[in-house]
Structure 1
């Protein structure tokens, strides 16, 4: 497991129980599970990200840093990291949770955040643990920052479209969505269209209604891109 090495650094705490707890979801019913470490990981993640931005993006104003940090510590970002690290195969889950395909992204995000808390503990806690977490996550944050530079509205296309439509047209986007496949987790389960001034501006597919709406908003933003300059 690549995260155990943290770029060659050995744990100061030889008791790696926190790592096991982080990857034991509360749905198992076990007393020692991910929840407490998730609470710790949330605080560690935010502070480590703030330090990362201070080092790598010192030119950003406070408001810009806050917005960027929100992207880099979001549940979506954690779920993507969990998928990249292939944590699903390592997470202990109860039967109901394991059978809930729609919940897997949330479970991955929760345990990934708990894992951050566990790494903080095992690599020294207040005596260096934060540095290790930041060093471990830095390459992932750098990759995400590059993606956000290419598309500042990444994963937030609905909000961007709403801001533009209110300012330019004086109205909110109108989304019309339908379920096309009842199978949970199907990437094309929902189909959504977005209208402005009763005119179709974009459409998209997604495993959830909000995902399909985001894709429709993304398509709409691409259509109005010349007007955004």
Structure 2
């Protein structure tokens, strides 16, 4: 493996020092660089392979964390909370909190969107896991954040999956489903405003939203519509 340019290694070293990683973490700088490199920069040495591993590691780490701290919760509830914790939206938010964005190398003119940040965070988790092949350091790094987010999700009756919550709400009241009208905007891949979506029910638009993917735009629209429609249907 070739050495990294000094400026890139200094950038990664500074990030590790400020990211609250366990002091025992002594990464391969080349591997960490790969975890923070998009395929637009290097078609071979990029984060995709590490991201695949990190996705599985995060799922297991989140499961262990939730089962240990919420032993009386049902499997269905834990599964719903875990789904939110390991979603691209949550991971991108966490990546921003960890100041990962400035370290993510992308092609000139390209904007790193939420899905890219989520993938990069998963790749970094893989790098941490590969140091010991255990979850010890991964959980030491992320447990506090996962528990903080889990507490928020558990207090949300929709579990932040507003598409499902909205569907259950409309079916319970009228045996009908909401309809989504989603369009792709003129924006680059990963742009937070790439897709626009509006959710309709009974010939009325109840909410709209944007997102870097069609799914996230529809979730944003459903979130905007949920409380408004719930209040309306409750008083019918």
Global fold match (TM > 0.5):
yes
The answer to whether structure 1 residue 222 and structure 2 residue 236 are counterparts is: no
1:18–1:121 contact (8 Å) kept in structure 2: no
Provide the alpha-carbon RMSD of the alignment. Answer: 2.9
5+ residue gaps, structure 1? none
In the alignment, structure 1 residue 82 sits paired with structure 2 residue 91: no
Partner of 2:11: none
Residue 128 of structure 2 corresponds to which residue in structure 1? 119
Secondary structure at 2:40's aligned position in 1? Answer: helix
CA distances 1:158-184 after superposition (whole Å, capped 9, x unpaired): 2211122122201111334567x7455
CA distance in 2, matches of 1:31, 1:176: 37
Equivalent position of 1:204 in the other structure: 208
Q: What does the per-residue CA deviation read over 1:81-122, in whole Å, with 9 as the maximum and x for residues that have no partner?
A: 222222221112234xx52x4x62221111110000011123
Q: CA deviation at 1:132?
A: 1.1
1:31 matched residue in structure 2: 44
Structure 2 residue runs without a partner (length 5+): 1-13
* 1:52 shift after superposition: 0.4
1:171 aligns with 2:184: no
Structure 1 residue 14: deviation in Å?
Answer: 5.8
Q: What is the 5 A alignment of 1:1-229?
A: 1=14, 3-4=16-17, 6-11=20-25, 13=26, 15-29=28-42, 31-95=44-108, 98-99=109-110, 101=111, 104-122=113-131, 124-126=132-134, 130-176=135-181, 182=186, 185=191, 187=193, 190=196, 192=198, 194-198=199-203, 200=204, 202-207=206-211, 210-226=215-231
Q: Distance in 2 between matches of 1:66 and 1:160?
A: 15
Query: CA, structure 1 residues 190+75, in 2 after alignment: closer, same or farther (shift >3 Å)?
Result: closer
So what's the TM-score if we normalise by structure 2?
0.77
- TM-score of the aligned structures, taking structure 1 as reference length: 0.79
